[in-house]
Amino acid sequence: MRRRNFIALLSGAAVWPLAAHAQQPKVKTIGVLVLSSPGSERFWQLFPKALSDLGYIEGENIHFEFRSDQGQMSRLQELAAELVRLKVDVIVPWLTPAALAAKQATREIPIVCALCGDMVGTALVEGLARPGGNVTGSSSLGPEVSAKLVELLRDTVPSVHRKIAVLINSPDPFSGPFLKQIQSAGGVAGTAIDPIMIHSAEELEAAFPAMERSRPDGVIVQGSLSTKRVAELALGSRIPAVSPLPEFVNAGGLMGYFAVEADMYHRAAFLVDKVLKGAKPAELPVEQASRFGLIINLKTARTLGIEIPPPLLGRADEVIE
């Protein structure tokens, strides 16, 4: 081989890998911020799958930075700030407190809520059609869900027409809109609503013995309080408990009514895809739930001595025997 051809070949061999490397797509970093609860586990199963359906694969074209408050909501602000320091491309918070912590941490990094409550009422967005700012996402818990939780208790427990307690997670910014929706539904149904504000784990433990004395006919548990421990306390106090999270029912709660999570996470993934391709959150309308599910725990019902009406069982999407 002539010397000049050998040099040209060698030169081409050196350049080709660099050119190929330059063509590799940039790996995008998605910061994920969640409250620690049974529901967060299902989110973490479904959301990456929803992204993979759109062509995003961990280690190939996306990288996740996952942060959980580990049951300490006060850590959310610190964890959100950490994601901002990492310069992630988008933050995906799960539930309203995580979303508000992310919004407080940054006005520049796009935020796509995976599952939030009243996004207008909590000031996450200016409006559903035109969110404004750097936040958009999927919103699942509106007045229709709150009204359904009241209706479920009334249809199941005959005496519940008298009084329903509502377990409210006071540090959760969604607690105000959530309680207002429940009170509105109770007013329409003619049922008294007794809010119980929870500020700490100690207050949570004390809430059910207090309810045993006041004897509400049932309790609605806010999503961010819908833990296995709350389900255990409700069952131990023999109080029918319902929640807007299906995992609460799997943990021992009586019933749950909720937006179909797979739908919500697919819509959130769709919005993340749009953002990663250059769309502005301010111009991406908030995705609202269109399908809802009902889950009933028959084992819990039997323990409480409650007979679930057959028509209600027939409407359930899932029944836990």
Rounded percentage of the chain residues whose pLDDT exceeds 70: 90
Residues 67 and 168 in one domain: no
**Residue in the structure block whose two tokens are 């207002």:** 180
3 within some domain = no
Is the pLDDT confidence value at 11 over 70?
no
Q: In what order do the strands lie in the sheet with 62-68?
A: 62-68, 28-34, 90-94, 111-116, 135-139, 287-288
Q: How many domains does the chain have?
A: 2
Report, as an integer, the average pLDDT of 8-22.
45
Report, as an integer, the average pLDDT of 273-288.
95
The amino acid at residue 175 is S
Residues 200 and 304 in one domain: yes
- Alpha-carbon gap, residue 9 to 100, rounded angstroms: 57
Tens of pLDDT, residues 145-188: 878 899 899 888 876 668 899 999 998 888 888 898 899 988 88
CATH at 197:
3.40.50.2300
Tens of pLDDT, residues 45-83: 999 999 999 999 999 999 999 999 988 888 999 999 999
Give me the DSSP letters along 193-253.
EEEEEE-SHHHHHHHHHHHHHH--S-EEE-GGG--HHHHHHHHHTT--EEES-HHHHHTT-
DSSP letter at 122? T
Residues 89 and 192 in one domain: no
Stretch (H or E) spanning 192: strand 192-198
Give me the DSSP letters along 80-114.
HHHHHHTT-SEEEEESHHHHHHHHHH-SSS-EEEE
Report, as an integer, the average pLDDT of 249-265.
92
316 within some domain = yes
Residues 196 and 236 in one domain: yes
Mean pLDDT estimate for the chain: 88
> What pTM was estimated for this model as a whole?
0.79
Give me the domain span that covers residue 107: 28-141+260-291
Residues 39 and 103 in one domain: yes
134 within some domain = yes
Tens of pLDDT, residues 127-143: 999 999 999 999 876 66
Q: Which residue has the higher pLDDT, 3 or 304?
A: 304
Residues 309 and 266 in one domain: no
